[in-house]
Amino acid sequence: MPTRNTHTYDVIVIGAGPVGENVADRTTAAGLSTVLVESELAGGECSYWACEPSKALLRPVLLRADAAHVPGLAAAVAKPLDVDAVLAHRDRLSADWKDDGQIEWIKSAGIDFLRGHGRLAGEREVSVSTPDGDTVRLRARHAVAVCTGSAAALPPLPGMAELRPWTSREATSAQRPPHRLVVVGGGVVGVEMATAWQALGSRVTLLAREGTLLPKLEPFAGELVTERLREAGADVRFDVSVVAARRVGNGAGEIRVTLSDGEVLTADEILFATGRTPRSQDIGLDTVGLRPGDWLATDDSLTVTAVPGDWLYAVGDVNRRALFTHQGKYQARVAGAVIAARARGERLETGRWAPHSSTADIEAVPGVVFTDPEIAFVGLTAREAERTGRDVEVVDYDIGRLAGAVQYRPGYRGRARILINRDRQVVVGATFAGPGVAELLYSATVAITGEVPVERLWHAVPAFPTISEVWLRLLETRRDS
C-alpha cells in the first residue's frame, strides 16, 4: 500500500460530524492550520441518520396530531399522512445522503479535508487510509481531537448478521414503512421511531425491558407517551426482552421474534434501540496506551486524562459526558478555545464560567423527546435528587389548566415539574410533558445554569395566553402549598 509523505498541521481532527466541524472551525478561526479526517460523510450521524432525518419524519406526525384536535382543522387532517411526501422531505433534509454542501462549507472556512479512515499512530501522529488505497501520514504540532462519536449497540444475540436488524440508521433512512415493525427499547430512539413509523402506516410493537418508557426521566413522561402510542394503535409491552430472533425463508423473509415470556412475534423488520457504543474500536488507541473500543475519559478541558502531554482531546459522544449533538457542539467550542490557548502558550482560564471548562454537559443537560406528547427536560429528576441525597422541593402543575394550552390544543394533556434546592432556593431540575413544550426548555436551562433565585423568577413575566405561563403557575403552586 503506497504511503504519501507526512503532512504537518497545527491540529488534526478525526471525525467531521457537527462536533469535529466545530472544533476545526474554532481552531482555524484562531489561526491554527487544521485538517478534518472523515471516513464516511462530512456532517456526520446527526445530518444523515439521526437528528435531521428523525425530526423530518416526526414533524408531520406531531403537526397532524395537534391539528386533529383543533376545531376547523380536524376534518382536513383526517386522512392518512402522505408517506411518499414525508419520506421525500426526509430525503431533502438529509441532503440525499450526499455531503457536497458540507465539503463546500469546510473549504470556505479554510479547513483542509481528507476523506479516509483515520487512526492514531503514536503521539501527535495520525495515519489515514484513503478510498484509493493510499496511506497518508499526518502530524500535529499541537493537538489531535478525536470526534468519532458513537454507534448503535446491538445485543449479543446469535445470528445477528443473518437477521439484518435495523439500528437507528436504518430506522431513519428506510425507503418504505414496514408492514409490521418490532421496536426493542423504551428509550428516546425507541419511542421516537415507534411514534414515526406507527403514524406512517406500520403496525408497531414496542418492547421495553423495564416497567416504563423513558425510564431515566420523570415517570409521568413515560406514562403520557405510552398512553398516546397506544391510542395511535401501537402495542406497547413492558418487562419483556428478546431472547432470539431470526429471518425465515433462507434469511430473506419475515422475522420470528421470541420473547422472554415465551411468546413469538412475527415482523417484517426489527429495530434494536438498546443503547450506544463508542466509535473507538479501530482508531489506533493502542498506539497511545489506550484500549480499543473504550469510551475516552476527559477532564473539563476535554483533554484525555490517560494520555500525558495535553495533546489528545476527545469531544462529543466518544467521551460519554453527554450524548447529544448540542452538547457535543458545546464541548467543541470549549475544546477549540483550550487548543488555541495552549498553542499560544497562555495559561488556561478554568472554573465554572470559564471558556476553557466544559461544565454544562454535566450540570444542566437539556434534551427533547419528539413524541406525542413532547418531553423536554433539563437538570435533575426527583429520583436522581433522592439517589444523590439532594434536598429538593418538588413542584408539579397540570399544563392542561393553562389558557395557552387550551389555545394550543383543546383537550391538552400535559404536566410540568420543577425541583427547587431548599438551601439555595434555585431551580435544579425541570421536566415538561405535553404538546409544544420543547420551546419551554431554554428558559428552564437558563434558570438552572444561571442559578436564578426563585424569588427573582417571579419577575420574569410570561406572556398570556402561552404555555410559558406554566412558570408562573408552578411558582404560585409552591407558594400556596
Q: What is the 3-state secondary structure (H, E, C) of the chain?
A: CCECCCEEEEEEEECCCHHHHHHHHHHHHCCCCEEEEECCCCCHHHHHCCHHHHHHHHHHHHHHHHHCCCCCCCHHHCCCCCHHHHHHHHHHHCHHHCCHHHHHHHHHCCCEEEECEEEECCCCEEEEECCCCCEEEEEEEEEEEECCCEEECCCCCCCHHHHCCECHHHHHHCCCCCCEEEEECCCHHHHHHHHHHHHCCCEEEEECCCCCCCCCCCHHHHHHHHHHHHHHCCEEECCCCEEEEEECCCCCCCEEEEECCCCEEEECEEEECCCEEECCCCCCHHHHCCCCCCCCCECCCCEECCCCCCCEEECCHHHCCCCCHHHHHHHHHHHHHHHHHHHCCCCCCCCCCCCCCCCHHHHCCCEEECCCCCEEEEECCHHHHHHCCCCEEEEEEEHHHCHHHHHHCCCCCCEEEEEEECCCCEEEEEEEECCCHHHHHHHHHHHHHCCCEHHHHCCCCCCCCCHHHHHHHHHHHHHHC
**Average of pLDDT values for 272-284?**
97
Q: What is the Cα–Cα distance from 172 to 57, expressed in whole angstroms?
A: 8
Give the model's pLDDT for residue 353: 78
Choice between 350 and 456, residue whose per-residue pLDDT is larger: 456
293: left (phi over 0), alpha (psi -120 to 50) or beta: left
Residue among 302, 305, 312 at smallest CA distance from 120: 312
**Average of pLDDT values for 325-339?**
97
**Average of pLDDT values for 345-361?**
87
**Average of pLDDT values for 262-290?**
97
Give the model's pLDDT for residue 97: 97
Global pTM exceeds 0.85: yes
Residue among 393, 438, 392 at smallest CA distance from 414: 438
| 41 phi/psi in degrees, rounded to 5 | -105, 130
Flag whether pLDDT at 481 surpasses 80.
no
**Average of pLDDT values for 237-248?**
96
Flag whether pLDDT at 1 surpasses 60.
no
Cβ(442)–Cβ(415) under 8 Å? Answer: no
Which regions of the chain carry the CATH code 3.50.50.60? Answer: 7-48+94-151+278-361, 160-274
Give the model's pLDDT for residue 479: 84
At residue 450, what is the residue type? G
Flag whether pLDDT at 205 surpasses 60.
yes
Give the model's pLDDT for residue 201: 97
Written as nine digits, the cell of 245 is 430472533
At residue 114, what is the residue type? L
112: left (phi over 0), alpha (psi -120 to 50) or beta: beta
Which regions of the chain carry the CATH code 3.30.390.30? Answer: 373-480
Query: Per residue in 189-198, pLDDT tens?
Result: 999 999 999 9
**Average of pLDDT values for 197-205?**
98
Locus of grid cell 459526558:
321
Q: What is the Cα–Cα distance from 119 to 127, expressed in whole angstroms?
A: 5
Locus of grid cell 436504518:
170
Query: Per residue in 78-89, pLDDT tens?
Result: 899 999 999 999
**Average of pLDDT values for 93-102?**
97
Give the CA distances from residue 428 to residues 357, 395, 478, in Å, rounded to whole numbers and listed in that order: 20, 12, 15
Flag whether pLDDT at 250 surpasses 90.
no
Give the model's pLDDT for residue 239: 98
| 163 phi/psi in degrees, rounded to 5 | -70, -35
Flag whether pLDDT at 3 surpasses 80.
no
Give the model's pLDDT for residue 2: 60
Give the model's pLDDT for residue 123: 98
Flag whether pLDDT at 343 surpasses 60.
yes
Written as nine digits, the cell of 470 is 406554566
Give the model's pLDDT for residue 361: 85
pLDDT band at residue 407 using 50, 70 and 90 as cut-offs: very high
Query: Per residue in 122-144, pLDDT tens?
Result: 999 999 999 999 999 999 999 99
Give the model's pLDDT for residue 362: 85
pLDDT, the chain, mean: 96
**Average of pLDDT values for 434-456?**
96
Percentage of the residues of the chain whose pLDDT score is greater than 90:
92
Written as nine digits, the cell of 321 is 459526558
Q: What is the Cα–Cα distance from 475 to 469, expressed in whole angstroms?
A: 10
Written as nine digits, the cell of 476 is 404560585
Flag whether pLDDT at 325 surpasses 80.
yes
Query: Per residue in 37-60, pLDDT tens?
Result: 999 999 999 999 999 999 999 999
Give the model's pLDDT for residue 4: 65
Q: In 10 A of CB 299, how many CB atoms?
A: 13
Query: Per residue in 360-394, pLDDT tens?
Result: 888 899 999 999 999 999 999 999 999 999 999 99
What is 7-48+94-151+278-361's CATH topology?
A: FAD/NAD(P)-binding domain (3.50.50)
Residue among 283, 282, 6 at smallest CA distance from 136: 6
Q: In 10 A of CB 129, how many CB atoms?
A: 15
Query: Per residue in 446-465, pLDDT tens?
Result: 999 999 999 999 999 999 99
Residue among 182, 174, 215, 221 at smallest CA distance from 198: 182
| CATH architecture of residue range(s) 160-274 | 3-Layer(bba) Sandwich (3.50)
| 5 phi/psi in degrees, rounded to 5 | -65, 160
Q: Considering the domain 373-480 in this protein, what is its CATH number? A: 3.30.390.30
Query: Per residue in 154-174, pLDDT tens?
Result: 999 999 999 999 999 999 999
Q: What is the Cα–Cα distance from 271 to 164, expressed in whole angstroms?
A: 10
